[in-house]
Structure 1
Amino acid sequence: MNRNPVYLALDLPRLDAAEALARKVAGHIGGIKLGLEFFCAHGHHGVLELHKLGLPIFLDLKLHDIPNTVAAAMQAIHVLEPAIVTVHAAGGRAMMEDAKAAAGEHCKVVAVTVLTSLDEADLSATGISSTAHDQALRLAELAHSAGLDGIVCSGHEVGAVRQQWKDGFFVVPGLRPNESTGKASGDQKRTVTPREARDAGASVLVVGRPISRAEDPLAAARAIEATL
Protein backbone atom coordinates (compact mmCIF):
# COMPACT_ATOMS: atom_id res chain seq x y z
CA MET A 1 0.00 0.00 0.00
CA ASN A 2 1.10 3.54 -0.78
CA ARG A 3 2.14 5.54 2.28
CA ASN A 4 -0.40 8.24 1.43
CA PRO A 5 -3.68 7.00 2.98
CA VAL A 6 -5.95 9.12 0.75
CA TYR A 7 -7.92 7.16 -1.86
CA LEU A 8 -9.79 9.30 -4.36
CA ALA A 9 -13.39 8.18 -4.90
CA LEU A 10 -13.56 8.38 -8.67
CA ASP A 11 -17.21 7.79 -9.48
CA LEU A 12 -17.56 9.86 -12.62
CA PRO A 13 -19.88 8.96 -15.52
CA ARG A 14 -17.25 9.51 -18.24
CA LEU A 15 -14.11 7.40 -18.33
CA ASP A 16 -12.00 10.09 -20.01
CA ALA A 17 -12.95 12.60 -17.30
CA ALA A 18 -12.15 10.07 -14.57
CA GLU A 19 -8.74 9.33 -16.10
CA ALA A 20 -7.95 13.02 -16.48
CA LEU A 21 -8.83 13.80 -12.87
CA ALA A 22 -6.84 10.83 -11.56
CA ARG A 23 -3.77 11.85 -13.56
CA LYS A 24 -4.03 15.43 -12.33
CA VAL A 25 -3.96 14.50 -8.63
CA ALA A 26 -1.99 11.22 -8.82
CA GLY A 27 1.00 12.64 -6.99
CA HIS A 28 -1.09 13.58 -3.96
CA ILE A 29 -3.22 10.48 -3.41
CA GLY A 30 -2.39 6.94 -2.39
CA GLY A 31 -4.94 5.06 -4.48
CA ILE A 32 -8.19 5.14 -6.41
CA LYS A 33 -11.58 3.99 -5.14
CA LEU A 34 -13.99 2.78 -7.80
CA GLY A 35 -17.57 2.18 -6.71
CA LEU A 36 -20.76 0.84 -8.21
CA GLU A 37 -21.42 3.84 -10.44
CA PHE A 38 -18.03 3.56 -12.12
CA PHE A 39 -18.06 -0.24 -12.31
CA CYS A 40 -21.55 -0.41 -13.78
CA ALA A 41 -20.67 2.25 -16.35
CA HIS A 42 -17.21 1.10 -17.38
CA GLY A 43 -16.77 -2.48 -16.13
CA HIS A 44 -13.48 -4.36 -16.32
CA HIS A 45 -12.23 -2.15 -19.13
CA GLY A 46 -12.50 1.01 -17.04
CA VAL A 47 -10.70 -0.55 -14.09
CA LEU A 48 -7.87 -1.82 -16.29
CA GLU A 49 -7.49 1.62 -17.89
CA LEU A 50 -7.06 3.25 -14.48
CA HIS A 51 -4.61 0.53 -13.44
CA LYS A 52 -2.24 2.10 -15.97
CA LEU A 53 -1.70 4.99 -13.55
CA GLY A 54 0.17 2.63 -11.25
CA LEU A 55 -1.94 3.38 -8.17
CA PRO A 56 -3.65 0.72 -6.01
CA ILE A 57 -7.27 0.11 -6.97
CA PHE A 58 -9.98 -0.16 -4.32
CA LEU A 59 -13.10 -1.82 -5.75
CA ASP A 60 -15.93 -0.64 -3.53
CA LEU A 61 -18.55 -3.09 -4.81
CA LYS A 62 -20.17 -3.82 -1.43
CA LEU A 63 -20.95 -7.41 -2.38
CA HIS A 64 -23.97 -8.77 -0.51
CA ASP A 65 -25.57 -12.04 -1.58
CA ILE A 66 -25.53 -15.74 -0.75
CA PRO A 67 -22.02 -17.05 0.00
CA ASN A 68 -21.61 -18.94 -3.28
CA THR A 69 -22.57 -15.93 -5.39
CA VAL A 70 -20.24 -13.58 -3.54
CA ALA A 71 -17.36 -16.06 -3.82
CA ALA A 72 -17.97 -16.37 -7.56
CA ALA A 73 -18.00 -12.58 -7.91
CA MET A 74 -14.69 -12.34 -6.06
CA GLN A 75 -13.17 -14.89 -8.41
CA ALA A 76 -14.49 -12.98 -11.43
CA ILE A 77 -12.52 -9.85 -10.46
CA HIS A 78 -9.18 -11.61 -9.86
CA VAL A 79 -7.99 -10.38 -13.27
CA LEU A 80 -8.44 -6.78 -12.08
CA GLU A 81 -5.96 -7.29 -9.22
CA PRO A 82 -7.73 -4.99 -6.75
CA ALA A 83 -5.86 -3.99 -3.61
CA ILE A 84 -9.10 -3.75 -1.61
CA VAL A 85 -12.64 -5.08 -2.15
CA THR A 86 -15.70 -4.46 0.02
CA VAL A 87 -18.48 -6.81 1.08
CA HIS A 88 -21.39 -6.09 3.41
CA ALA A 89 -20.92 -7.39 6.96
CA ALA A 90 -24.71 -7.80 7.11
CA GLY A 91 -24.31 -10.68 4.66
CA GLY A 92 -23.21 -12.84 7.57
CA ARG A 93 -20.20 -14.80 8.66
CA ALA A 94 -20.41 -17.58 6.05
CA MET A 95 -20.59 -15.05 3.23
CA MET A 96 -17.60 -13.14 4.55
CA GLU A 97 -15.57 -16.31 5.04
CA ASP A 98 -16.25 -17.42 1.47
CA ALA A 99 -15.45 -13.96 0.12
CA LYS A 100 -12.06 -13.97 1.82
CA ALA A 101 -11.30 -17.51 0.70
CA ALA A 102 -12.07 -16.57 -2.91
CA ALA A 103 -10.14 -13.31 -2.93
CA GLY A 104 -6.78 -12.85 -4.62
CA GLU A 105 -3.63 -13.41 -2.59
CA HIS A 106 -2.80 -9.71 -2.28
CA CYS A 107 -6.36 -8.41 -1.97
CA LYS A 108 -7.67 -7.06 1.31
CA VAL A 109 -11.34 -7.88 1.92
CA VAL A 110 -13.07 -5.39 4.19
CA ALA A 111 -16.65 -5.42 5.44
CA VAL A 112 -18.98 -2.43 5.32
CA THR A 113 -20.55 -1.95 8.75
CA VAL A 114 -22.92 1.06 8.88
CA LEU A 115 -23.04 3.38 5.88
CA THR A 116 -22.03 6.95 6.66
CA SER A 117 -25.29 8.12 5.06
CA LEU A 118 -27.27 6.45 7.88
CA ASP A 119 -28.01 7.69 11.37
CA GLU A 120 -29.98 6.21 14.29
CA ALA A 121 -33.35 7.12 12.77
CA ASP A 122 -32.45 5.34 9.54
CA LEU A 123 -31.29 2.24 11.43
CA SER A 124 -34.47 2.21 13.50
CA ALA A 125 -36.56 2.29 10.32
CA THR A 126 -34.86 -0.93 9.21
CA GLY A 127 -35.53 -2.68 12.52
CA ILE A 128 -32.13 -2.10 14.14
CA SER A 129 -32.48 -0.66 17.63
CA SER A 130 -28.74 -0.21 18.26
CA THR A 131 -26.93 3.07 17.81
CA ALA A 132 -24.73 3.38 14.72
CA HIS A 133 -21.71 3.11 17.01
CA ASP A 134 -22.83 -0.12 18.67
CA GLN A 135 -23.94 -1.66 15.38
CA ALA A 136 -20.60 -0.88 13.77
CA LEU A 137 -18.72 -2.50 16.66
CA ARG A 138 -20.97 -5.57 16.53
CA LEU A 139 -20.43 -6.02 12.80
CA ALA A 140 -16.70 -5.37 13.17
CA GLU A 141 -16.47 -8.21 15.66
CA LEU A 142 -18.31 -10.49 13.22
CA ALA A 143 -16.00 -9.50 10.35
CA HIS A 144 -12.96 -10.13 12.55
CA SER A 145 -14.20 -13.59 13.51
CA ALA A 146 -14.83 -14.36 9.83
CA GLY A 147 -11.16 -13.74 9.02
CA LEU A 148 -11.53 -10.53 7.04
CA ASP A 149 -8.76 -7.96 6.88
CA GLY A 150 -10.80 -5.10 8.26
CA ILE A 151 -13.92 -3.01 7.94
CA VAL A 152 -15.39 0.16 6.55
CA CYS A 153 -16.82 2.49 9.19
CA SER A 154 -17.22 6.19 9.87
CA GLY A 155 -14.59 8.22 11.63
CA HIS A 156 -16.84 8.28 14.68
CA GLU A 157 -16.39 4.53 15.23
CA VAL A 158 -12.89 3.78 13.98
CA GLY A 159 -11.14 4.59 17.26
CA ALA A 160 -13.33 2.23 19.29
CA VAL A 161 -13.03 -0.52 16.66
CA ARG A 162 -9.24 -0.25 16.65
CA GLN A 163 -9.20 -0.77 20.40
CA GLN A 164 -10.82 -4.19 19.98
CA TRP A 165 -9.08 -5.09 16.69
CA LYS A 166 -5.49 -3.95 17.06
CA ASP A 167 -4.15 -5.14 13.70
CA GLY A 168 -7.26 -4.44 11.62
CA PHE A 169 -7.34 -2.53 8.35
CA PHE A 170 -9.81 0.32 8.60
CA VAL A 171 -11.34 2.25 5.71
CA VAL A 172 -13.08 5.51 6.57
CA PRO A 173 -15.32 7.29 4.02
CA GLY A 174 -17.57 10.30 4.50
CA LEU A 175 -14.65 12.65 5.08
CA ARG A 176 -14.97 16.40 4.78
CA PRO A 177 -12.32 19.11 5.31
CA ASN A 178 -12.84 21.53 8.20
CA GLU A 179 -14.55 24.14 6.10
CA SER A 180 -17.06 21.67 4.67
CA THR A 181 -20.16 21.87 6.79
CA GLY A 182 -23.89 21.85 6.30
CA LYS A 183 -24.96 21.24 2.73
CA ALA A 184 -21.36 20.56 1.68
CA SER A 185 -21.62 17.18 3.38
CA GLY A 186 -24.25 16.12 0.85
CA ASP A 187 -25.90 12.82 1.73
CA GLN A 188 -23.29 12.01 4.37
CA LYS A 189 -24.55 12.30 7.95
CA ARG A 190 -21.66 11.07 10.11
CA THR A 191 -18.61 12.94 8.87
CA VAL A 192 -15.20 13.85 10.29
CA THR A 193 -12.11 15.50 8.82
CA PRO A 194 -9.36 13.42 7.20
CA ARG A 195 -6.97 14.36 10.00
CA GLU A 196 -9.42 13.30 12.69
CA ALA A 197 -9.98 9.94 11.00
CA ARG A 198 -6.24 9.36 10.57
CA ASP A 199 -5.56 10.21 14.21
CA ALA A 200 -8.30 7.80 15.30
CA GLY A 201 -6.64 4.93 13.47
CA ALA A 202 -7.90 4.89 9.88
CA SER A 203 -5.74 2.95 7.41
CA VAL A 204 -7.40 4.39 4.30
CA LEU A 205 -9.14 7.74 3.95
CA VAL A 206 -11.73 7.84 1.16
CA VAL A 207 -12.21 11.33 -0.23
CA GLY A 208 -14.52 12.05 -3.14
CA ARG A 209 -16.43 15.26 -3.69
CA PRO A 210 -14.08 17.55 -1.71
CA ILE A 211 -11.51 16.80 -4.45
CA SER A 212 -13.51 15.74 -7.50
CA ARG A 213 -15.95 18.66 -7.32
CA ALA A 214 -13.48 21.29 -6.16
CA GLU A 215 -12.81 24.28 -8.40
CA ASP A 216 -9.17 23.24 -8.34
CA PRO A 217 -8.94 19.46 -7.64
CA LEU A 218 -5.14 19.51 -7.52
CA ALA A 219 -5.08 22.27 -4.90
CA ALA A 220 -7.77 20.46 -2.91
CA ALA A 221 -5.80 17.20 -2.95
CA ARG A 222 -2.63 18.99 -1.90
CA ALA A 223 -4.43 20.76 0.94
CA ILE A 224 -5.85 17.49 2.30
CA GLU A 225 -2.47 15.77 2.01
CA ALA A 226 -0.85 18.63 3.90
CA THR A 227 -3.09 18.06 6.92
CA LEU A 228 -2.00 14.43 7.38
Structure 2
Amino acid sequence: MNKAIYLALDFPTWEVTEQFLKNNQLHGVPVKVGMELFFREGPAIIEKLKANNHPIFLDLKLHDIPTTVMKAMKNLAALEVDIVNVHALGGSDMIEHAKEGLLKGSSKHKTKLIAVTILTSHDKETMNNQLLIPGELRENAVHLAYTAKQSGADGVVCSVYEAGSIKEKCGNSFLTVTPGIRLANSSLDDQKRVATLKIAKENDADILVIGRSITKAENPYQAYQQAVEEWGNGIK
Protein backbone atom coordinates (compact mmCIF):
# COMPACT_ATOMS: atom_id res chain seq x y z
CA MET A 1 0.00 0.00 0.00
CA ASN A 2 2.91 2.37 0.63
CA LYS A 3 3.73 5.06 -1.93
CA ALA A 4 0.30 5.07 -3.56
CA ILE A 5 -1.53 8.04 -5.05
CA TYR A 6 -5.27 8.16 -4.37
CA LEU A 7 -7.31 10.31 -6.72
CA ALA A 8 -10.00 12.27 -4.86
CA LEU A 9 -13.33 11.71 -6.61
CA ASP A 10 -14.95 14.95 -5.51
CA PHE A 11 -17.90 14.66 -7.86
CA PRO A 12 -21.64 14.93 -7.13
CA THR A 13 -22.88 11.70 -8.77
CA TRP A 14 -21.78 8.31 -10.08
CA GLU A 15 -22.63 9.36 -13.63
CA VAL A 16 -20.22 12.28 -13.51
CA THR A 17 -17.59 10.15 -11.79
CA GLU A 18 -17.86 7.31 -14.28
CA GLN A 19 -17.67 9.68 -17.22
CA PHE A 20 -14.55 11.34 -15.81
CA LEU A 21 -12.76 8.04 -15.18
CA LYS A 22 -13.66 6.63 -18.61
CA ASN A 23 -12.91 9.79 -20.58
CA ASN A 24 -9.50 10.11 -18.98
CA GLN A 25 -8.51 6.44 -19.07
CA LEU A 26 -8.11 6.22 -15.30
CA HIS A 27 -9.43 2.68 -14.92
CA GLY A 28 -8.18 0.90 -11.84
CA VAL A 29 -6.31 3.81 -10.24
CA PRO A 30 -6.58 4.16 -6.44
CA VAL A 31 -9.44 6.50 -5.55
CA LYS A 32 -10.75 8.38 -2.53
CA VAL A 33 -14.52 8.50 -2.04
CA GLY A 34 -15.65 11.28 0.28
CA MET A 35 -18.89 12.40 1.86
CA GLU A 36 -20.31 14.17 -1.19
CA LEU A 37 -20.28 11.10 -3.42
CA PHE A 38 -20.97 8.46 -0.77
CA PHE A 39 -23.91 10.30 0.77
CA ARG A 40 -25.49 10.64 -2.69
CA GLU A 41 -24.82 7.14 -4.02
CA GLY A 42 -24.42 5.04 -0.88
CA PRO A 43 -22.60 1.70 -0.75
CA ALA A 44 -23.45 1.06 -4.42
CA ILE A 45 -20.68 3.48 -5.44
CA ILE A 46 -18.13 1.26 -3.71
CA GLU A 47 -19.31 -1.86 -5.51
CA LYS A 48 -19.18 -0.07 -8.87
CA LEU A 49 -15.63 1.12 -8.28
CA LYS A 50 -14.50 -2.28 -7.04
CA ALA A 51 -15.94 -3.86 -10.18
CA ASN A 52 -13.47 -1.69 -12.12
CA ASN A 53 -10.59 -2.74 -9.85
CA HIS A 54 -10.10 0.58 -8.05
CA PRO A 55 -8.41 0.40 -4.64
CA ILE A 56 -10.60 2.58 -2.39
CA PHE A 57 -10.03 4.97 0.49
CA LEU A 58 -13.47 5.66 2.01
CA ASP A 59 -13.08 9.10 3.56
CA LEU A 60 -16.04 9.61 5.92
CA LYS A 61 -14.14 10.87 9.00
CA LEU A 62 -16.37 9.26 11.59
CA HIS A 63 -16.60 11.16 14.89
CA ASP A 64 -19.25 10.13 17.40
CA ILE A 65 -19.66 8.24 20.64
CA PRO A 66 -17.63 4.99 20.69
CA THR A 67 -20.54 2.57 20.41
CA THR A 68 -22.04 4.39 17.42
CA VAL A 69 -18.68 4.46 15.64
CA MET A 70 -18.11 0.77 16.32
CA LYS A 71 -21.49 -0.17 14.81
CA ALA A 72 -20.92 2.08 11.82
CA MET A 73 -17.48 0.57 11.22
CA LYS A 74 -18.90 -2.93 11.45
CA ASN A 75 -21.21 -2.05 8.56
CA LEU A 76 -18.46 -0.31 6.58
CA ALA A 77 -16.17 -3.32 7.02
CA ALA A 78 -18.54 -5.34 4.84
CA LEU A 79 -17.69 -3.06 1.91
CA GLU A 80 -14.10 -4.36 2.03
CA VAL A 81 -12.39 -1.13 1.03
CA ASP A 82 -8.67 -0.57 1.56
CA ILE A 83 -8.79 2.38 3.98
CA VAL A 84 -11.40 4.01 6.22
CA ASN A 85 -10.97 6.84 8.71
CA VAL A 86 -12.12 8.51 11.89
CA HIS A 87 -11.25 11.80 13.59
CA ALA A 88 -8.40 11.37 16.07
CA LEU A 89 -10.05 14.08 18.18
CA GLY A 90 -12.72 11.49 18.98
CA GLY A 91 -10.25 10.05 21.48
CA SER A 92 -8.72 6.69 22.34
CA ASP A 93 -11.93 4.91 23.28
CA MET A 94 -13.61 5.86 20.03
CA ILE A 95 -10.63 4.76 17.93
CA GLU A 96 -10.43 1.45 19.78
CA HIS A 97 -14.13 0.84 19.17
CA ALA A 98 -13.68 1.74 15.48
CA LYS A 99 -10.99 -0.91 15.17
CA GLU A 100 -13.18 -3.41 16.99
CA GLY A 101 -16.02 -2.73 14.56
CA LEU A 102 -13.78 -3.31 11.56
CA LEU A 103 -12.54 -6.60 12.92
CA LYS A 104 -16.05 -7.78 13.78
CA GLY A 105 -17.45 -6.71 10.41
CA SER A 106 -15.07 -8.66 8.21
CA SER A 107 -12.73 -11.47 9.15
CA LYS A 108 -11.29 -11.99 5.66
CA HIS A 109 -10.51 -8.42 4.53
CA LYS A 110 -8.05 -6.24 6.42
CA THR A 111 -9.23 -2.67 5.97
CA LYS A 112 -6.71 -0.14 7.28
CA LEU A 113 -7.98 2.27 9.92
CA ILE A 114 -6.49 5.75 9.88
CA ALA A 115 -7.25 8.76 12.05
CA VAL A 116 -7.42 12.40 10.93
CA THR A 117 -5.11 14.59 13.03
CA ILE A 118 -5.58 18.28 12.14
CA LEU A 119 -7.43 19.05 8.89
CA THR A 120 -5.23 20.59 6.21
CA SER A 121 -7.82 23.36 5.86
CA HIS A 122 -6.76 24.52 9.35
CA ASP A 123 -3.68 26.55 10.21
CA LYS A 124 -2.24 27.44 13.61
CA GLU A 125 -4.43 30.52 13.97
CA THR A 126 -7.60 28.52 13.33
CA MET A 127 -6.51 25.77 15.68
CA ASN A 128 -5.56 28.15 18.51
CA ASN A 129 -8.23 30.84 18.18
CA GLN A 130 -11.30 29.08 16.79
CA LEU A 131 -10.89 25.51 18.03
CA LEU A 132 -9.17 26.70 21.22
CA ILE A 133 -6.51 24.00 20.93
CA PRO A 134 -3.27 25.52 22.26
CA GLY A 135 0.24 24.76 21.03
CA GLU A 136 1.88 24.19 17.67
CA LEU A 137 0.32 22.31 14.78
CA ARG A 138 3.17 19.83 14.53
CA GLU A 139 3.22 18.87 18.19
CA ASN A 140 -0.56 18.46 18.29
CA ALA A 141 -0.58 16.34 15.13
CA VAL A 142 2.19 14.12 16.51
CA HIS A 143 0.38 13.73 19.82
CA LEU A 144 -2.87 12.78 18.09
CA ALA A 145 -1.00 10.34 15.83
CA TYR A 146 0.65 8.63 18.80
CA THR A 147 -2.69 8.41 20.59
CA ALA A 148 -4.21 6.86 17.45
CA LYS A 149 -1.41 4.31 17.18
CA GLN A 150 -1.76 3.33 20.83
CA SER A 151 -5.50 2.88 20.21
CA GLY A 152 -5.06 0.46 17.29
CA ALA A 153 -5.03 2.72 14.22
CA ASP A 154 -2.80 1.77 11.30
CA GLY A 155 -1.92 5.35 10.43
CA VAL A 156 -3.12 8.91 10.23
CA VAL A 157 -4.21 11.62 7.86
CA CYS A 158 -1.86 14.55 8.32
CA SER A 159 -0.24 17.31 6.32
CA VAL A 160 3.03 16.57 4.59
CA TYR A 161 4.78 18.87 7.05
CA GLU A 162 3.98 16.65 10.04
CA ALA A 163 4.60 13.28 8.35
CA GLY A 164 8.30 13.02 9.18
CA SER A 165 7.82 13.86 12.85
CA ILE A 166 4.97 11.36 13.08
CA LYS A 167 7.22 8.66 11.61
CA GLU A 168 9.87 9.46 14.20
CA LYS A 169 7.35 9.10 17.03
CA CYS A 170 5.21 6.24 15.75
CA GLY A 171 7.61 4.20 13.63
CA ASN A 172 8.19 3.77 9.93
CA SER A 173 5.39 1.23 9.45
CA PHE A 174 2.77 3.67 10.74
CA LEU A 175 1.04 5.07 7.64
CA THR A 176 1.01 8.77 6.84
CA VAL A 177 -1.75 9.68 4.40
CA THR A 178 -1.30 13.23 3.15
CA PRO A 179 -3.97 15.33 1.40
CA GLY A 180 -3.38 18.87 0.17
CA ILE A 181 -1.00 17.71 -2.56
CA ARG A 182 -0.68 20.01 -5.53
CA LEU A 183 1.11 19.71 -8.84
CA ALA A 184 3.27 22.66 -9.82
CA ASN A 185 1.28 25.82 -10.70
CA SER A 186 -1.96 24.49 -9.15
CA SER A 187 -4.12 26.76 -7.00
CA LEU A 188 -4.47 26.31 -3.22
CA ASP A 189 -8.30 26.39 -3.25
CA ASP A 190 -9.54 25.97 0.35
CA GLN A 191 -6.44 24.18 1.63
CA LYS A 192 -3.83 26.01 3.72
CA ARG A 193 -1.09 23.45 4.43
CA VAL A 194 -0.37 22.21 0.92
CA ALA A 195 2.72 20.70 -0.67
CA THR A 196 4.19 19.47 -3.92
CA LEU A 197 5.11 15.84 -4.55
CA LYS A 198 8.77 16.72 -4.09
CA ILE A 199 8.08 18.08 -0.61
CA ALA A 200 5.97 15.00 0.15
CA LYS A 201 8.90 12.74 -0.72
CA GLU A 202 11.29 14.76 1.40
CA ASN A 203 8.95 14.51 4.40
CA ASP A 204 8.40 10.72 4.38
CA ALA A 205 4.75 10.69 3.31
CA ASP A 206 3.43 7.22 2.42
CA ILE A 207 0.16 7.82 0.59
CA LEU A 208 -0.83 10.96 -1.29
CA VAL A 209 -4.35 12.22 -1.94
CA ILE A 210 -4.62 14.46 -4.99
CA GLY A 211 -7.86 16.00 -6.19
CA ARG A 212 -8.31 19.24 -8.06
CA SER A 213 -4.75 19.37 -9.40
CA ILE A 214 -5.81 16.39 -11.52
CA THR A 215 -9.59 16.59 -11.82
CA LYS A 216 -9.51 20.26 -12.84
CA ALA A 217 -6.47 19.92 -15.12
CA GLU A 218 -6.77 20.56 -18.84
CA ASN A 219 -5.62 16.98 -19.39
CA PRO A 220 -6.41 14.90 -16.25
CA TYR A 221 -4.82 11.72 -17.64
CA GLN A 222 -1.57 13.53 -18.33
CA ALA A 223 -1.69 15.24 -14.92
CA TYR A 224 -2.18 11.90 -13.17
CA GLN A 225 0.69 10.32 -15.08
CA GLN A 226 2.88 13.28 -14.19
CA ALA A 227 2.08 12.74 -10.51
CA VAL A 228 2.78 9.01 -10.77
CA GLU A 229 6.09 9.59 -12.47
CA GLU A 230 7.18 12.12 -9.86
CA TRP A 231 6.07 9.93 -6.98
CA GLY A 232 7.46 6.75 -8.51
CA ASN A 233 4.74 4.26 -7.59
CA GLY A 234 4.96 2.49 -10.91
CA ILE A 235 1.39 2.91 -12.20
CA LYS A 236 1.39 3.62 -15.95
TM-score of Structure 1 vs Structure 2, range by shorter chain: over 0.9
Q: Indicate whether 1:148 and 2:153 are aligned.
A: yes
Q: Indicate whether 1:158 and 2:176 are aligned.
A: no
Output the TM-score relative to the length of structure 2: 0.90
What are the superposed Cα offsets for residues 67-104 of structure 1, whole Å, 9 maximum, x if unpaired? 00001111111221110001000000000001011114
| Aligned equivalent of 1:102 | 101
| Aligned equivalent of 1:178 | 184
Deviation beyond 3 Å, 4+ runs, structure 1:
none
- Partner amino acid for 1:217? P
User: Cα offset for 1:25?
Assistant: 4.4
Kept in 1: contact 2:32–2:209 (CA 8 A): yes
Query: How far, CA to CA, are the matches of 1:148 and 1:129 in structure 2?
Result: 24
User: Cα offset for 1:134?
Assistant: 1.3
Kept in 2: contact 1:8–1:33 (CA 8 A): yes
Output the TM-score relative to the length of structure 1: 0.93
1:111 pairs with 110, 115, 121, which one? 115
Query: How far, CA to CA, are the matches of 1:200 and 1:43 in structure 2?
Result: 35
User: Cα offset for 1:144?
Assistant: 1.1
Kept in 2: contact 1:12–1:18 (CA 8 A): yes
Which runs of 5 or more residues in structure 1 are unaligned? none
Query: How far, CA to CA, are the matches of 1:11 and 1:179 in structure 2?
Result: 20
Q: Indicate whether 1:222 and 2:225 are aligned.
A: yes
Query: How far, CA to CA, are the matches of 2:75 and 2:166 in structure 1?
Result: 31
User: Cα offset for 1:33?
Assistant: 0.3
Query: How far, CA to CA, are the matches of 2:156 and 2:33 in structure 1?
Result: 17
| Aligned equivalent of 1:36 | 35
Query: How far, CA to CA, are the matches of 1:22 and 1:195 in structure 2?
Result: 26
Q: When the two structures are aligned, how many residues end up with a matched partner?
A: 223
Q: Give the 3-state SS of the residue equivalent to 1:38 in structure 2.
A: helix
Query: How far, CA to CA, are the matches of 1:54 and 1:195 in structure 2?
Result: 28
Q: Indicate whether 1:13 and 2:12 are aligned.
A: yes
Q: Is the deviation greater in 140-149 or in 100-109? A: 100-109
Paired residues for 1:69-88 under 5 Å: 69-88=68-87
Q: 1:227 to 1:54 in 2, by over 3 A?
A: same
Q: 1:27 to 1:215 in 2, by over 3 A?
A: same
| Aligned equivalent of 1:209 | 212
Q: Give the 3-state SS of the residue equivalent to 1:18 in structure 2.
A: helix
Query: How far, CA to CA, are the matches of 1:120 and 1:60 in structure 2?
Result: 24
User: Cα offset for 1:4?
Assistant: 5.7
| Aligned equivalent of 2:234 | none
Q: Give the 3-state SS of the residue equivalent to 1:148 in structure 2.
A: coil
Q: 1:53 to 1:203 in 2, by over 3 A?
A: same
Q: 1:97 to 1:16 in 2, by over 3 A?
A: same
Which runs of 5 or more residues in structure 2 are unaligned? 232-236
Kept in 1: contact 2:28–2:53 (CA 8 A): no
User: Identity of aligned pairs, percent?
Assistant: 38
Kept in 2: contact 1:173–1:207 (CA 8 A): yes
Query: How far, CA to CA, are the matches of 1:28 and 1:177 in structure 2?
Result: 21
